[in-house]
Amino acid sequence: MQADFSMRPGELQKLQVTAKYLDGSSRDVTGATLYLANEAVVVAVDTQGLMKAGSLPGETAIMARYMNHICVANIVIPQSRSLPSDYFAKLERRNFIDDLVYSKLQKTATEPSVLVDDATFMRRVYTDLIGRLPSVVEAKEFLDTQSELKREYLLDRLLERPEYVDHWANQWANALYPAKTYPVNAELVHLLVYLKSPNVVAKTLELMAAGDDQAKIYK
């Protein structure tokens, strides 16, 4: 199945899924495949793999499953208006994360949001990283700080707090164990958050998704 699509609002495109077998043969299994849209309001898909783009620009994915095999089609619907060709090249970059963000935004011709004020930034990072709003004391301390690096310092402090581990352990538990009834191995998730090696993190997530017992063995 083709992996990447660019569609216009209201456009129709047909997915085609081909199964390849160990004997070297292949056949069209488009009609026997199950399809699931990640965001149907952006792009919807019917039972025969026909995609229809909605009116909203954005990026989404369509999952196609045939027997025990899954593949994903990524779809982009750019903004109707275009940006200058050198628009993103001229934007300020502070680190590699900006490169990744701008690369995504460029696909949909979306301008980056303007910088928010300190109070809005504080509220967002607290809820995103540790899952709660700042206390009155915490808010006053941050807002009264005059350092130009106050936002970087706040991020570093929040990432070192135990609430960060607990909050994201719950996030990963919900993502990786949606149909499980037994408790998640929380110690493993705590370990995952503190590990620095991308290879180790990827392997741990893979085993967690496979099942609790395998993850405990890897730990």
Do both 25 and 70 map to the same domain? yes
Pairing of strands 43-45, 69-77: unpaired
The DSSP bridge partners found for residue 5 are: 75
Do both 211 and 181 map to the same domain? yes
Do both 95 and 132 map to the same domain? no
Do both 94 and 67 map to the same domain? no
Q: How far apart are the C-alpha atoms of 99 and 93, rounded to whole Å?
A: 7
Do both 69 and 106 map to the same domain? no
The DSSP bridge partners found for residue 14 are: 50
Do both 152 and 202 map to the same domain? no
pLDDT at 203 (0 to 100): 60
Do both 142 and 184 map to the same domain? no
pLDDT at 216 (0 to 100): 39
Instruction: Report pTM.
Output: 0.61
Question: For residue 195, what pLDDT band results from cuts at 50, 70 and 90?
Answer: very low
Nearest residue to 192 (alpha-carbon basis) of 133, 146, 176 = 176
Higher-pLDDT residue of 36 and 80 is: 36
pLDDT tens-place string over residues 95-125: 899 999 998 888 888 889 888 999 999 999 9
Q: How far apart are the C-alpha atoms of 101 and 97, rounded to whole Å?
A: 6
| 185, 189, 190, 192: CA torsion to nearest 10 | 140
Do both 88 and 33 map to the same domain? no
pLDDT at 213 > cutoff 50: no
Number of domains comprising the chain: 4
Question: For residue 182, what pLDDT band results from cuts at 50, 70 and 90?
Answer: very low
Do both 152 and 185 map to the same domain? no
Q: Structural domain of residue 70, as residue ranges?
A: 4-77
pLDDT at 35 (0 to 100): 94
User: How far from chain centre, in Å, is Cα 122?
Assistant: 22
pLDDT at 215 > cutoff 70: no
Question: Rounded to the nearest 10 degrees, what angle do helices 198-210 and 186-194 cross at?
Answer: 160
Last residue of a domain, one of 25, 52, 77: 77
Higher-pLDDT residue of 4 and 175 is: 4
pLDDT at 211 (0 to 100): 52
Do both 86 and 69 map to the same domain? no
CATH number for the domain including 67? 2.60.40.1080
pLDDT at 107 (0 to 100): 84
Nearest residue to 43 (alpha-carbon basis) of 16, 82, 13 = 13
pLDDT tens-place string over residues 137-166: 999 999 999 999 999 999 999 998 888 888
Cβ atoms of 112 and 97 within 8 Å: the answer is no
Task: Count the Cβ atoms, other than its own, within 10 Å of residue 110.
Answer: 16
Question: For residue 43, what pLDDT band results from cuts at 50, 70 and 90?
Answer: very high
Mean pLDDT of 20-24: 92
Do both 10 and 73 map to the same domain? yes
Do both 93 and 151 map to the same domain? no
